[in-house]
Structure 1
Amino acid sequence: MSGILFNYEYDRKIKVGFIGCGAHALRNVYPTFDYTPIDLVAVCDLSLERAEIYRKRFGAERAYSDYKEMLKKEKLDAVFVVLNYDSNGHPLYPKIVPDVLAAGIPVWMEKPLAYTAEEGERLLELEAKSGTFVQVSNKRYFFPTYTKAKQIIDSGNFGEAVSVGGRYNLKLSPYQEDIKTRTNLNWFLDICHPMSGIHYLMGDVKELLFTDHQPSGNAQAIFKFKSGAIGSLHIVATQAATSPVERVEIIGNRQNLVIDNGMKLIYYKGSQGTGNYGKILDYIGDDPADGPVYWEPENSLGQLYNKNMVLQGMVQSVNYFANAVLNGTKLEKGTLAEAVHLTKIFDAFKTPGDKWVSID
């Protein structure tokens, strides 16, 4: 991604407030402000003592323990919301974000959006009424590997993306017939991780079917996309802890892409040497330049592309949001509508399985 400057080099910045002073925000969100056009004005946490620690650490002017007071007193261009789960394992965003939208302030928020698509739909309605917008941090819309894969798919040479296969480390809890749903799904809410990447490359899911194995929590899902493409996702709860977290492969017209562990991208194209079957001497191909291409981080230089928050798209996501606020531009990815679509997929996994579920 081009156009990144150090924070002090930007001529224009947005004034933001931040709701949430937790460990995830400390590791992955606040540090992105060093590379984005953001002026952190105020921070808020239920613990004022903790908010003061973050205020000093990240250079904010004021700290609050009541976010409504912060919204009332501060003149903010945007608000970041990074929260944990409630006692039931449900995201807290549907309880907080409506108040920010009611104030007419753009929101950058962490995932997962909500525990149900119904909650997400209500946020969509509030977003439409507010005249502003929400960006949800589903990172794979901004991963360097996924954005490059998208560029290759859209280049024309790849052909139509007709199928996809994915693998991701999650656990699906058992279906409980007595209450007609699954519980203890707070970890499985992270289905938005693999599905956001698949959605970015393949488009909206039309319907899905899955079957699960209990008590392991492993599952296999099959997708039909609105484009007509097909796909699958292998959910692997019992893999070794040393295994890669994820793998995605997209098939086009005589070309395919593999994103391995989110960080490595392999572009398979070209052909083997000429000759009839059984008599081909050269597996590399007549033109070595027209063959597979492999990219991975080199991890040795002090470049931004070697930082975890860049490899995971966090800097790119925050920069994209800040520039949308600055320039009054419309979000094209990481939108609230996309997050609601992903939440509908999460809802589908609450069913017993072994039957097609419409995502519309």
Structure 2
Amino acid sequence: MEPVKFNFEYENKLRAGFIGCGAHAFRNVYPTFDYAPVDLVAVCDLSEERAEIYRNRFGAEKVYTDYREMIKKEDLQAIFVVLNFDKNGHPLYPKILPDILEAGIPVWVEKPIAYTANEVEALIELEEKTGQQVLVSNKRYFYPSFVSAKQILDTPAFGDSVSITGRYPLTLSPFQEKLGERTDLHWFLDICHPMSGIHYLMGDVKEMCFVEHQPSGDVQTLFTFKSGAIGSMHLPSTQAETSPLERFEVIGNKQNIVIDNAMRLSYYKGSKGSGEYGKAPSYIGDDPSNGPVHWEPEFSLGQLYNKNLFLQGMVQSVNHFANAILNERKIEKATLKDSLHLTKIFEAYKNNKAGKWIEI
């Protein structure tokens, strides 16, 4: 994990512009610059009044209502883009990013990146053509719980990851026979949330098959992975609002990890006390130090790790991008190619009836 400094402690910072002055950006992206090597030069929004509020609040120098004008007039080393959806519920990023990449500027962009895999493939082609880099902020590639879980999975002791189960509430709309696809999938684009976590831990999906319950929209999905592993994901759209949002478990060789509600990480290993079947006197292992380990934030100290910006990996995502650009390194995760895989998963649900195996 890359070290964190306060913004004023960095000697070298990215001169950055920001396209988008919405509520999500206000809560979750602009504040990350307090802990990243980013010098916010200009902000852009269709509303000049709103852009001026953001300029004043977050310390930018200039305000624009046309991002093309900002690109032309400012000497920018990077651009952050956080936009809403169009009237059809489709991400706007495929319409904006080409202008930025062709101007020779790398991009940090919010998810979901696109509505179709073809749109992502076009962006990948443009990224390679221009030599610029794009990071798509699928957060689970940067959650401390997922990053640490991945470290455990990569150890020889854990062995091969043979299976995963996941749970995350989403609603799948019914298949439209006349159209040959599903519609009203604006919020189902959030499949990138659970799937980015599964993808980070297990690698590419090879095939998938799902069943659905309508009209609730609840879904159960089976996966096979290119690694040979297997998995399942439950999308319980009708779960209680008060229940934990998500849970993931990976099984290895007599070991497993659990990520509960995004922040609690458990590592199960070791064995219970010895003794004949039916006569074991203790449920604690003969070597208690070789047993389960549990981590969770304690929320009592004024540590950065207790901030939601860190628990959800937002600062880590921005720092990964900023340090890669400043140091001329390759962005290693949350790439456009990662997003292409996630978009193909979305399309598998969108374009298919339930009950058949779909190659990804």
Q: Distance in 1 between matches of 2:61 and 2:90?
A: 31
Q: Distance in 2 between matches of 1:223 and 1:308?
A: 31
Q: Distance in 2 between matches of 1:52 and 1:261?
A: 37
Q: Distance in 2 between matches of 1:176 and 1:341?
A: 24
Offset from partner CA, 1:76-110 (integer Å, 9 cap, x none): 10000000100000000001011101111100000
Q: Distance in 2 between matches of 1:34 and 1:80?
A: 15
Quote the offset at 1:280 in angstroms.
1.3
SS at match of 1:211: strand
Quote the offset at 1:301 in angstroms.
1.1
SS at match of 1:279: coil
Superposition RMSD on alpha carbons, in Å? Answer: 0.7
Offset from partner CA, 1:327-357 (integer Å, 9 cap, x none): 0001111111001110000000011121111
Map of 1:25-174 to 2, 5 A cutoff? Answer: 25-174=25-174
In structure 1, the residue matched to 2:183 is: 183
What letter is aligned with 1:255? Q
Query: Given the alignment of the two structures, is residue 353 of structure 1 paired with residue 354 of structure 2, yes or no?
Result: yes
Q: Distance in 1 between matches of 2:49 and 2:343?
A: 34
SS at match of 2:310: helix
Offset from partner CA, 1:30-55 (integer Å, 9 cap, x none): 00000000000000001111111101
What letter is aligned with 2:356? K
SS at match of 1:344: helix
Quote the offset at 1:275 in angstroms.
1.7
What letter is aligned with 1:58? F
Offset from partner CA, 1:107-127 (integer Å, 9 cap, x none): 000000101111111111111
Which ranges in structure 1 are unaligned for 5 or more consecutive residues? none
Q: Distance in 2 between matches of 1:98 and 1:141?
A: 24
Q: Distance in 2 between matches of 1:88 and 1:209?
A: 27
Q: Distance in 2 between matches of 1:105 and 1:71?
A: 9
SS at match of 2:120: helix
Quote the offset at 1:233 in angstroms.
0.2
Quote the offset at 1:295 in angstroms.
0.6
Quote the offset at 1:159 in angstroms.
0.6
What letter is aligned with 1:289? S
What letter is aligned with 2:8? Y
Offset from partner CA, 1:201-239 (integer Å, 9 cap, x none): 000001110011100000000001000000000000000
Offset from partner CA, 1:293-322 (integer Å, 9 cap, x none): 011110111110000010000000000100
In structure 2, the residue matched to 1:226 is: 226
In structure 2, the residue matched to 1:212 is: 212
In structure 1, the residue matched to 2:244 is: 244
Quote the offset at 1:2 in angstroms.
4.5
Query: Given the alignment of the two structures, is residue 9 of structure 1 paired with residue 31 of structure 2, yes or no?
Result: no
In structure 1, the residue matched to 2:254 is: 254
Quote the offset at 1:156 in angstroms.
1.3
Offset from partner CA, 1:13-43 (integer Å, 9 cap, x none): 0100000000000000000000000000000
What letter is aligned with 2:255? Q
Displaced runs of 4+ in structure 1, greater than 4 A?
A: none
Q: Distance in 2 between matches of 1:126 and 1:276?
A: 65
Offset from partner CA, 1:247-299 (integer Å, 9 cap, x none): 00000000000000101000000001112222211111001110000111101
In structure 1, the residue matched to 2:335 is: 335
In structure 1, the residue matched to 2:235 is: 235
Q: Distance in 1 between matches of 2:178 and 2:275?
A: 63
Map of 1:298-337 to 2, 5 A cutoff? Answer: 298-337=298-337
SS at match of 2:108: strand
SS at match of 1:57: helix
Q: Distance in 2 between matches of 1:99 and 1:71?
A: 9
What letter is aligned with 1:304? L
SS at match of 2:79: strand
What letter is aligned with 2:145? T
SS at match of 1:345: helix
SS at match of 1:349: helix
In structure 2, the residue matched to 1:295 is: 295
Q: Note closer, same or farther for the CA distance 1:189–1:331 as it changes in structure 2 (3 Å cut).
A: same
Query: Given the alignment of the two structures, is residue 271 of structure 1 paired with residue 271 of structure 2, yes or no?
Result: yes
Offset from partner CA, 1:137-181 (integer Å, 9 cap, x none): 000000000000000111211111000000001100111101011
SS at match of 2:160: coil
Q: Distance in 2 between matches of 1:41 and 1:173?
A: 42
What is the count of residue pairs matched by the alignment?
Answer: 359
Q: Under a length normalisation based on structure 2, what TM-score does the superposition of the two structures give? A: 0.99
Q: Distance in 1 between matches of 2:190 and 2:299?
A: 27
SS at match of 2:15: strand
What letter is aligned with 1:179? L
